[in-house]
Chains A and B, each alone.
Chain A
Amino acid sequence: MSSEWPLWEVFIRGQHGLNHRHVGSLHAPDAEMAINNARDVYTRRNEGVSIWVVRSSDITASSPSDKGPLFEPSNSKVYRHPTFFDIPDEVGHM
């Protein structure tokens, strides 16, 4: 036997009020052990208040070669940014 334990991606909420952030990955036989291991590997100095783990194989990622076509449409829509519009000074803060 001796097959490799699956890989898990680890996400940690650093402080209350912040999003979970990807910090790295680790191997563990199941989710419970993944959380235990993540505690030891990624939060030895109080780095977190909450941990998420998810199997790496369950993550679907955009492909690097799609970078252009995938993100191009938002580049061309400059009017989505408030700085696109000229607001006269007299109007005040908006």
Chain B
Amino acid sequence: MYAQMVKTDAARVKSLDDMAPEERAFQERIDAGQKIEPKEWMPEGYRKTLVRQISQHAHSEIVGQLPEGNWITRAPTLERKAILLAKVQDEAGHGLYLYCAAETLGISRDEMYEQLHSGKAKYSSIFNYPTLSWADIGAIGWLVDGAAIMNQVPLQRCSYGPYARAMVRICKEESFHQRQGFDILAKMVKGTPAQRAMVQDALDRWWWPSLMMFGPSDDASIHSAQSMVWKIKQNSNDELRQKFVDQTVPQAEYLGLTVPDPDLKWNEKKGGYDFGEPDWKEFFEVIAGNGLCNAERLGARRKAWDDGAWFRDGLTVHAEKASARRAAKTAAAE
């Protein structure tokens, strides 16, 4: 997902009886559905896991602007350009809400940027694929934001208050993102055969990476089990992937597209689709930094940060001078 394979430091999931009184009281509050707020006591593992998950989520929103930003100057109409600008601006907002939520756990914004720029922190694998045609912008909104929604809706009920509240704001904005993407494709499939072919090509390239967003099966993962006990994860990766496929395949059919999976078949008994396994070797390569665009994406982020240094510094100096001037004026008036 936007946060994939988040580690918890847990060697095993403790039972209530194994816990010290403080930790037990904490777990009981979570079990009772209460929210944990900043500065309240929490196990170090819970804090660290949340920092990893929220910062990774934030980095994904920020890096996620890049593939779409690629098409802002080339959008086919002024209206599409304005819509895409608004969408990409929302993603910047999402990143900012999430960085703030992470900061309540005691990590600074600069530390998080440092972790992103040095390659220590991860962001979603999906943003390391290139956007080759305008249909890719449609496919991203429809599939990538669609997959993100699957994951973000349950996160609104996450046990950590600031994260849950950031998710509420984000979810309100996401359906605009998904619809604008679908609308791009719905328009293109009514166009020329060449335009329809562009849409099919986009689906062919984005389908499997979108399924990979949910991460490999985590039914046996100790980290996922621990995250579920802490209620910072609500559904297994396979559950969410199944939901996504079930929701998306009929939409692809509506568009007259072919999902590029020979194993895709409706399964009456389970009331859902059977589908093939994504290429997990490719996924791990992308996560390890060897995707098509990893170097380009990180390079763009680093450049933006370095090129902006003089501006950030300038505003800081201006603020300091203005505040000194105000202090001198007040002193003179006294």
Interface residues of A (CB under 8 A from B): 1-5, 7, 24-27, 29-30, 33, 40-42, 44-45, 61, 63-65
Question: B269 on the interface (CB 8 Å rule)?
Answer: no
- CB pair B40–A1 under 8 Å, yes or no, is no
**In the assembly, what is the distance between CA of A45 and CA of B319, in Å?**
29
- CB pair B97–A61 under 8 Å, yes or no, is no
Residues of B contacting A29 in the complex (Cβ-Cβ under 8 angstroms): 312, 315-316, 318-319
Residues of A contacting B318 in the complex (Cβ-Cβ under 8 angstroms): 29-30
Query: Which of B69-77, B103-111, B149-157 faces chain A?
Result: B103-111
- CB pair B109–A2 under 8 Å, yes or no, is no
Residues of B contacting A1 in the complex (Cβ-Cβ under 8 angstroms): 313, 316
Interface of B is mostly: helix
Question: B166 on the interface (CB 8 Å rule)?
Answer: yes
- CB pair A24–B109 under 8 Å, yes or no, is no
Contact code string B318-334 (vs A, CB < 8 Å = 1, else 0):
11001100000000000
Interface residues of B (CB under 8 A from A): 37, 39-41, 86, 89-90, 93, 96-97, 100, 103, 108-110, 165-166, 169, 173, 309, 312-313, 315-316, 318-319, 322-323
- CB pair B39–A63 under 8 Å, yes or no, is yes
- CB pair A4–B319 under 8 Å, yes or no, is no
Residues of A contacting B109 in the complex (Cβ-Cβ under 8 angstroms): 4, 27
**In the assembly, what is the distance between CA of A4 and CA of B41, in Å?**
27
Contact of A64 among B40, B103, B173, B309 (CB under 8 A): B40
- CB pair B37–A64 under 8 Å, yes or no, is yes
- CB pair B319–A41 under 8 Å, yes or no, is no
Closest to B111 in A: A4
Task: Looking at the assembled complex, report how far the CB atom of A54 sits from the nearest CB atom of chain B, in whole angstroms.
Answer: 15
Closest to A6 in B: B319
Residues of B contacting A65 in the complex (Cβ-Cβ under 8 angstroms): 41
- CB pair B313–A41 under 8 Å, yes or no, is no
Contact of B313 among A2, A24, A30, A64 (CB under 8 A): A2
Given contacts A7-B103, A29-B316, A64-B41, 11 further A-B contacts (CB under 8 A): A2-B312, A4-B108, A4-B110, A5-B316, A24-B169, A29-B318, A33-B319, A41-B96, A41-B97, A42-B93, A64-B39
Known: A61-B39, A64-B37. A26 touches B96 (CB 8 A): yes
Task: Looking at the assembled complex, report how far the CB atom of B173 sits from the nearest CB atom of chain A, in whole angstroms.
Answer: 8
Residues of B contacting A4 in the complex (Cβ-Cβ under 8 angstroms): 108-110
- CB pair A30–B322 under 8 Å, yes or no, is yes
- CB pair A30–B319 under 8 Å, yes or no, is yes
**In the assembly, what is the distance between CA of A42 and CA of B37, in Å?**
21
Residues of A contacting B316 in the complex (Cβ-Cβ under 8 angstroms): 1, 3, 5, 29
